Amino acid sequence: MLAALLFASPALGAATEREVVFDGAGGVKLSATLLLPAGASEQRKVPAVVLVAGSGPTDRNGNQPPLLWTGLLKQTADLLAGAGVASLRYDKRGVGRSDRPPKDRAALAEFVRWEHFVADVAAAGEALRGQPEVDGARVALLGHSEGGLLVMDAAAQLQGAGRPPAAVVLVSTPGRPLGVVLREQLGRMCQRLNLTEEGTSRYLARNDDIIAAIRETGVVPDDVPPDLAPLYPRYAGRFLQAQFKSDPAEAAGRLTVPVLVIQGAKDLQVSAECDTPALEGALKGRPGKARCDVVILEGASHNLKHVEHDGEQALFGPTVPEYGKRLTACVNVVLRSHAGN
């Protein structure tokens, strides 16, 4: 009965979308898609969610052309629209139709600072609040993977400014420090490559040294081995330093708003057994009565796609059906509770 009430809509017709451009940190122009559910108007304002992509050059739809096409953020936007919730998804700085990155290395290092990506999320929230069809009191932030870390930092900033989001949604988001998660991922890679125990220890120790140097100095060492270089771009020292110094569970514990955690049980990048409990413990240990919901999706990958066989990344195709059901139900309950605020 509750589900029927949540998803019932008095409006008929199709969802509509339009391009939105807003200023991110440092005046960088960020290009986005606003997807409005059927019936949304200035007279019938709707709740809304900012969708924030994960790591790498990921566009507004959750893709990294030309090779990686998960479509996760576009699929999430469609699911929300079907439940009467608007969304804004944007190309990260330097990606897609947003402003291109500078070519100078020093300027590029400044362009990609972690703090700027966080400020971009907050700016997206303000841009969404300002849309005439959106109820500004019912705007949430949703981040996938690294995007969840950005969302938590942005939510904390907005809390400090007296403009907190109505809720936060963390999808496939690490609950342990990046260095710990990365070391675990590299260890599994060594196993797949059948490295000896001694070879694995040397490899992980070298990676530990690189992380320690970046954490201390904010500079990527000159002698990073070629096989680790893709993880540590020379220009990204300050960005990585901020990540290595951050503890996601601590960040979660600082949130004062309702939080929904969604995690795939078959995720090969973020652990449902280790990361999700860390987030859940921090969230449920918060003072006050802010709501916390945790959803583990059986058989789902990091991108919430169905895993046929253990060890598969499962990047493509539709999301598992349970993702849409649980996401829209929880988001609607929380955002509808803010109606009239």
pLDDT digits (tens), the chain, 341 positions: 333 323 334 445 799 999 999 999 999 999 999 999 999 999 999 999 999 999 999 999 999 998 899 999 999 999 999 999 999 999 999 999 999 999 999 999 999 999 999 999 999 999 999 999 999 999 999 999 999 999 999 999 999 999 999 999 999 999 999 999 999 999 999 999 999 999 999 999 999 999 999 999 999 999 999 999 999 999 999 999 999 999 999 999 999 999 999 999 999 999 999 999 999 999 999 998 899 999 999 999 999 999 999 989 999 999 999 999 999 998 888 887 766 55
The predicted structure's pLDDT at residue 339: 63
Q: In the CATH hierarchy, which fold is given to the domain comprising 2-176+247-337?
A: Rossmann fold (3.40.50)
Query: What long-range pairs does 204-211 form, CB within 8 A, spacing at least 24?
Result: 207/182, 207/183, 208/179, 208/183, 211/179, 211/182, 211/244
The predicted structure's pLDDT at residue 341: 53
Domain range list for the chain: 2-176+247-337, 179-242
How would you class 4 by CB atoms within 10 Å of its CB: exposed for 0-12, middle for 13-18, buried for 19 or more?
Answer: exposed
The predicted structure's pLDDT at residue 256: 96
Strand partners for 89: 33, 51
